[in-house]
C-alpha cells in the first residue's frame, strides 16, 4: 500500500546514525521486522530505498526508520529533511518477522543491522511476551552501538532479554567481548542454540559468516532467519 506522510521527529542515535520518525499513516499495519520503501524528492529526482521499520507495532503514533548516513545521494537527501517535510512510503514488505510465535530466540546483529531486531525486542517487551531472547550485537566501536541506552533499559524491563556486545576496535576501557561474533561466543552465550530460532541481520558478509557458523553448530536451516542490507 502507498502512503503520504511527513517527518514528525529526527533523533541522533550514534555518530552518523539517525532515526527518522514519520507520522503513522492511518491503515498502515505491520509485523515486527518488516520493511518499507521510502521515496524522497531530491533536485527534481526521486530517490527510493528500502528500510526496516525500526519502530514496533506497539508504538502507534509514529513509524520510524533508522539510517546509517554514508554521504551517498539517498543519505544526503535524508539528512536534509526537516520536521514537517513530506515523504512517500510503500509498506509493509518482508517475511523477516517475529509475531511472538517462538518460546526461545537468538539474535545476531552487525552494525545498523540492529534495526529489525530492536523492533522485535521492543515488541516482545511492550507485549510482555514470555519469549526468551539473547541478542549478540557486534560493532566496530563502542560509541557506534545503536540503541544502547534503550537496549539497557529494556533489559531491566524484560527479564527474558539478555544483551551481549562485542566490539572489533575497542578502546582500552572496554571490558566486553572483542572481535567479530564467532562460534565460541555463541556457544558460551547461547548454550541452548540448537533449540533456538535465530534472527540474523547485518552486512551481507557478516550474515553469510553467521549462517555458516550456525550450520556448523547443527542449528537446523528452518531455525535460521536472515536479512541483510546490501551496500554496507
Ligand atoms: C530489506 C532492507 C532493509 C534495509 N534497512 C535498512 C535500515 O534499517 N537502515 C539502513 O541504514 N539501511 C537499510 N537498508 C539499506 C538501504 O536500503 C540502502 O541501500 C543503504 O542505506 C544505502 O544508502 P546510501 O544512502 O548509502 O546510498 P544510495 O545513495 O542509496 O546509493 C546506493 C549505493 O550506491 C553506491 N553509491 C552511490 N553513490 C556513490 C558514490 N558517490 N560513490 C561510491 N558509491 C556510491 C553505494 O554502494 C551505495 O550504498 C536496508 C536494505 C534492505 C534491502
Distance set, CA 125 to CA 132, 152, 212, 225 (Å): 11, 12, 30, 21
Taken in order of first residue, the domains within the chain and their CATH numbers are 2-93 (2.40.30.10), 104-228 (3.40.50.80)
pLDDT at residue 26, as a whole number:
92
Mutation test residue for ligand 1: of 81, 231, 232, the one with most atoms within 8 Å of CB: 231
Does residue 230 have a pLDDT over 90?
Answer: no
pLDDT band at 232 (very low <50, low <70, confident <90, very high): confident
CA of 122 from ligand 1 middle (Å) equals 25
**56 and 119 in contact (C-beta within 8 Å)?**
yes
Pocket, ligand 1, Cβ cutoff 6 A? 35, 49-52, 65-68, 70, 72-75, 112, 115, 227, 229-231
Single pTM value for the model: 0.96
Mean pLDDT of all residues belonging to the chain: 96
Q: Span 100-111, mean pLDDT?
A: 98
User: For residue range 36-89, what is the model confidence (pLDDT) as tens digits?
Assistant: 999 998 777 899 999 999 999 999 999 999 999 999 999 999 999 999 999 999
Please state at what angle helix 148-157 crosses helix 115-126, rounded to 10 degrees.
30
pLDDT at residue 74, as a whole number:
94
User: For residue range 169-204, what is the model confidence (pLDDT) as tens digits?
Assistant: 999 999 999 999 999 999 999 999 999 999 999 999
Question: Residue 169: helix, strand or coil by DSSP?
Answer: coil
pLDDT at residue 231, as a whole number:
74
User: Residues 6 or more apart from 162 whose CB is under 8 A from it?
Assistant: 133, 134, 135, 155, 189
Amino acid at each position: 500500500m502507498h502512503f503520504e506522510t511527513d517527518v514528525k521527529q529526527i533523533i541522533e542515535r550514534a555518530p552518523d546514525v539517525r532515526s527518522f520518525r514519520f507520522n503513522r499513516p492511518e491503515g498502515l499495519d505491520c509485523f515486527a521486522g518488516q520493511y518499507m520503501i521510502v521515496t524522497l524528492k531530491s533536485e527534481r529526482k526521486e530517490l527510493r530505498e528500502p528500510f526496516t521499520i525500526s519502530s514496533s507495532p506497539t508504538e502507534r503514533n509514529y513509524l520510524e526508520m533508522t539510517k546509517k548516513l554514508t554521504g551517498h545521494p539517498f543519505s544526503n537527501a535524508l539528512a536534509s529533511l526537516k520536521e514537517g517535510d513530506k515523504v512517500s512510503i510503500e509498506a509493509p514488505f518482508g517475511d523477516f518477522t517475529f509475531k511472538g510465535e517462538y518460546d526461545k530466540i537468538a539474535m545476531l546483529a552487525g552494525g545498523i543491522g540492529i534495526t529489525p531486531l530492536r523492533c522485535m525486542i521492543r515488541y516482545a517487551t511492550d507485549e510482555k511476551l514470555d519469549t526468551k531472547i539473547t541478542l549478540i550485537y557486534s560493532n566496530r566501536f563502542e560509541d557506534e552501538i545503536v540503541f544502547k541506552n534503550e537496549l539497557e533499559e529494556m533489559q531491566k524491563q524484560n527479564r527474558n532479554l539478555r544483551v551481549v556486545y562485542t566490539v572489533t576496535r575497542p578502546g582500552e576501557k572496554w571490558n566486553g567481548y572483542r572481535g567479530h561474533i564467532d562460534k565460541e561466543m555463541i556457544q558460551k552465550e547461547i548454550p541452548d542454540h540448537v533449540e533456538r530460532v535465530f534472527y540474523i541481520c547485518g552486512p551481507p558478509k557478516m550474515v553469510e559468516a553467521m549462517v555458516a557458523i550456525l550450520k556448523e553448530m547443527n542449528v537446523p536451516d528452518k531455525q535460521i532467519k536472515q536479512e541483510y542490507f546490501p551496500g554496507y
